[in-house]
Amino acid sequence: MPKDFKKLLVGSLETCDLPKLGINDLHMRVDTGAKTSSLHVDNIEEFERDGKRWIQFDIHPDIYHVDEVVRREARIKSRRRIKSSNATKQRRFVVETTLSMGGYSWPIELTLTDRSEMSYLMLLGRQGMKGKLIVDPELKYCLGEPDQSARREMIAPPPKPKTKKKVKKSVS
């Protein structure tokens, strides 16, 4: 972040980009009550590339068109036990990616989970917003809401893999 960076004022709902995952204008819930950030994914497959653990997964990038699915992959940072909103503990994959909003970008950790019962496919928790955002829960889309008529053009193609991978199925 630039030295002259001032915290962004955001509401309880915002949009963000996850450029490393090729996702733009993703609607998310900004939740100061949640410690970790999470992203809804399906069909997780673990594999190895260049001696490192990676995963492939499906993302539904558009809350208005849930039938739309894109396949993405990311290097696994860790696997952690996370207490969910209903107080159950889950073991989740953690990936590090870049979050962009309001003209700024910073690294965040995302846990990958099934959020299909939730209204928003991404939740931004305290760790992902610390030092970057001020949240006013009365407000929504302070940084602007995307034009849904252009939505199809907002999903970038997946990054091309650079090496071969060994696939092994993972059970959540």
Domain span at 33:
14-143
- Beta strands 70-83 and 52-59 are antiparallel
Q: Considering the domain boundaries, does residue 76 fall inside one? A: yes
Q: Considering the domain boundaries, does residue 1 fall inside one? A: no
Q: Considering the domain boundaries, does residue 125 fall inside one? A: yes
Q: Considering the domain boundaries, does residue 153 fall inside one? A: no
Question: Tell me, what CATH number does 66's domain have?
Answer: 2.40.70.10
Q: Considering the domain boundaries, does residue 69 fall inside one? A: yes
Q: Considering the domain boundaries, does residue 137 fall inside one? A: yes
Q: For residue 122, what pLDDT is reported? A: 92
Identify residue 95 by its one-letter amino acid code: V
Can you list the residues of the chain whose pLDDT is less than 70? 1-5, 63, 85-86, 146-172
Q: Considering the domain boundaries, does residue 169 fall inside one? A: no
Q: For residue 146, what pLDDT is reported? A: 60
Domain count, the chain: 1
Please provide residue 55's backbone torsions phi and psi, each rounded to the nearest 5 degrees: -135, 150
